[in-house]
Each structure stands twice: as structure tokens, then as C-alpha cells.
Amino acid sequence: MQAIIFCGIQASGKSTYYQRHFFNSHVRISMDLLRTRNRERLFLEACLKSQMRFVVDNTNPTKNDRAKYISMAQQARYEVIGYYFESTSSDAVKRNSQRSGRFLVPLKGIYGTNKRLEPPVLSEGFSKLYIVRLLPSGEYDVRLADGNEDK
């Protein structure tokens, strides 16, 4: 089974990438949807117990934030793949300005997450790690991070 962990500041393209590439194959675990850590935990445990493939679609800015998902997935014998959505805070603010309602992120949230951001590394427990950039065209540039072997 496969666990995918997204990492990146708000408005870096994570949820759109999920919709385009994983919607039909992986359950989405997101605080945007679940709203509480208790619901998130229950949902994650259900995926692990039922051997469902899943994507954790949260900012996960620090190694510590990612560690709990990686550990739980590894214990359940999942392949853990990371996707790091590289973005500048200024690009994220521009994309965010096109959002409305509950999808609009307060600017202090974007800047605060960017300040805490620790880019992921393969040695955190990922079997593969991808670097993703959202291009001005709306397409994605996806490449394996250094240290990966294309399997």
C-alpha cells in the first residue's frame, strides 16, 4: 500500500495536484476537510487498518509534523512517498488572492508556515521524495529529489 505525504506552504498547489493525480486512487486526509486532529487521527487509522491508499494533504512544514504520518505508515508496512511543493511566499500570496470564502488563507498563515518550513529529505523515512513546482501555466514540474533512484 502507499502513503503519500504532501509538504508545502498554503497555496502552493497541493490540493489541486491531489485532484488531478490521486483523486481516483487515494483517500484524501486533510485538515481543511476534517477540521480536528481527532477526526484526522480516526480517518488515518481507518485507512491504515483497511489498507487504503491515502494522501495527507496538509502543509506539514516541519520534520516533526511529517514524522507521525511516516511512522504510522511504516508500522503498517506502507510505502511512504513524499511530495514537496516548492513555492515562494510571494507566489503563494498571489495564488491565494484568487481564492475566496473559507479557501482564502490569512496572509500571516502563509508567511508563518513559510518561516517554519523545513524542506523534507529522503532520510526522514520516505522511499521516494519528489519536488513539485506549480508553473505559471498551471501545469506541474515534478522531479525526483536528489538522492532518489527512479524505481
Predicted TM-score (pTM) of the model is 0.91
| pLDDT single digits (tens) 104-140 | 777 788 989 999 999 999 999 999 999 999 998 989 9
64-85 per-position pLDDT tens digit: 999 999 999 999 999 999 999 9
pLDDT for position 151:
44
Q: 99 or 92: which carries more pLDDT confidence?
A: 92
Q: Higher confidence at residue 151 or residue 54?
A: 54
Residue range 12-42, pLDDT digits in tens: 999 999 999 999 999 999 998 898 999 999 9
Q: Which residues of 14-44 are buried (b: 16+ CB within 10 A; e: fewer)?
A: bbebbeebbeeebbbbbeeebeeeeebeebb
Superfamily of domain 2-144: P-loop containing nucleotide triphosphate hydrolases (3.40.50.300)
Judged against a pLDDT cut of 80, whether residue 145 lies above it is answered with yes
